[in-house]
A and B are shown apart, each in its own frame.
Chain A
Amino acid sequence: MTPIRAATQHDELAELFDRHARELLRYCTRRVGPQLAEDVVAETFLVAHERRERFDPERGEWLPWLYGIATNLLRRHRRAELQALRDNTRAVAADDPAHDEAAAGRVDAERSVARLSAVIAKLPTRQRDVLMLFAVAELEYAEIAEALGIPLGSVQSALHRARTKVRAALEKEGAR
């Protein structure tokens, strides 16, 4: 490979990185925390670079494809993600009973967080991925379908089921 060709690949990868790395890092940090997120995002770009021949520009943009790679990599850290969600549930158990209205409000908010975290932790992997790509990454249905390599109808179905459980958890808390 000539130095000029190597430099071109470097610039192309750098451009892709500059365009999308921050967004991916924000998303992955939300899911697995800052340290693991850095690992995942770095590996995402390396995998994308290795597999760039497989990317079909006729099918869409780079970003959903990158999210798809990141989602697969995030699954390796499923335990860390679930542990973080479970930590949210444990924090409430340690709270003392509320003694005034402000404290009661805080405890209610913490209970809502705990209940919602528990629900999300129990979601099947695909439902959780779809929910997070929609709610946190703010991808559209078609982009999620492209990222995960699943039919659009599967995205809609998974999202509907996940949101039903989320709303049930929030409504249960609101009824207290």
Chain B
Amino acid sequence: MTPMDEDLIAVRNLPPGVVEPSDESLARVRQRVFAQPAPRHLAWRLTMRRFWVPVAAAAAVLLVVGVGLASLRPRALTPPQPEPVSSEPARVRRVFDELITAAGRKTPFRPRAGQLVYQNDEIVEISPLDGRPFRRSIETWIEPATTTYLGSAEEGLTDPGRASAAWEQENAKDRYRSLPLGKRPFLKLTSFLAGPTDPAAARRDLIDRVTVDVVSEDEQVWSGIWEMVILDALLPAERRVALYQLLRDLPVSVGETGVDGRRLVIVRFAAPAGSFLGFLGPDKAYDLLIDPVSGEIAGTQVLHDGPAPAWSPPDNVEVQTGPSGLPWSPAPLPAGPIDPALVNRHIYNFGLVEDIGDLP
């Protein structure tokens, strides 16, 4: 018997076949592996009898690995060091060259018929109860062909049978989702995600979609891109490249930050006037967070533009409830490197699943 026997060939060639993984896919895996905390164990003894490589070849391999690691800048074994935001044109262009290159390698999700997109929104925000940062997680199941939100759960889906009720409750609170589909300029992301891939046409398309007279055309473009973060995983590569080219040409500044050991590029729009979902006032900074290795938009953050105002107890405290309808208190974050200017941060992760309540 050999692997070339007819039956084995048939097994190997079953759809989807044996596909060579892309460099970008490998880079994503590499980042996740090297984003873990430094190991606690003693030295790793490579004493394999047949770990064999001749000395010269071993040195060559380590050299290539070192160059490869340097080019990927996997800072995750030590926490990524923040870099201040700067609008210096050469720096902005250099950063976006990296992002646009990564964008071209980023393959979108291709859901099969019947599959749903699972979205996990990891949120860090400031509690109105005590002024301290806390973390919460919202999971959403989305029908990809129409980008319809089918179900949502916060801190766990305790009763799958009540998923639709929880979703309706969330939609009732959210001023944006409560609008009928036909009146939402952005949530019809099917055509939006598949929009023009020529930068000039893409810019015109976004401006036409947003059409808010009181803000600049640049902010209308920014608004459109901000909206797409919630379904970033479906964004085609060519479209993503065009959108990053648009971002580069907006009045933006760039920097770096680390989130859970992951290096993210900050892209900050200058002086927004407030046309986009998530706008919380003119005295704040609004950032897209883009992963320079995978090319994806990892999330968004909002910061106080200047020293954070001193916290004071609110007059009326809204009791938050979970999907069960019972009062729910989010867990405070342990002490750690949270920017004191942070207002909120959303980090999105996606998967493809078969049904509401499924996890990838």
A residues contacting B by CB (< 8 A) are 1, 5-6, 8-15, 17-19, 21-22, 25-26, 29-30, 33-39, 41-42, 45-46, 49-50, 52-53, 57-58, 60-62, 79-80, 83-85, 87-88, 112-113, 116-117, 120, 131-132, 134-136, 138, 163, 166-167, 170
Contacts and interface: CB of A to CB of B under 8 A. Distances in A.
A16 to B, nearest CB: 9
A17 B14 contact: no
Interface in B30-60: 30, 32-34, 36, 38-41, 43-44, 46-51
Contact of A30 (B19, B47, B351): B19
**Closest 6 CB pairs between A and B?**
A57-B48, A42-B32, A135-B8, A25-B21, A135-B11, A166-B7
B25 interface: yes
Interface string B85-123: 000000000000000000000010100110000000000
Contact of A35 (B12, B39, B61, B109): B109
A34 B107 contact: yes
A116 B36 contact: no
Given A14-B65, A30-B17, A116 B51 contact: no
Contacts of A53: 41
Chain B residues touching A, majority SS: loop
Interface string B315-331: 00000000000000000
A68 to B, nearest CB: 16
Interface residues of B, number: 53
A33 B353 CA distance: 12
A57 B113 CA distance: 46
Chain A residues touching B, majority SS: helix
Contact of B38 (A1, A57, A60, A136): A1
A122 to B, nearest CB: 14
25 contacts: A1-B39, A5-B43, A8-B43, A9-B44, A10-B77, A14-B34, A25-B21, A29-B16, A30-B17, A30-B18, A34-B25, A35-B360, A36-B360, A49-B44, A57-B50, A61-B50, A85-B14, A88-B14, A116-B14, A135-B12, A138-B3, A163-B1, A163-B7, A167-B7, A170-B10
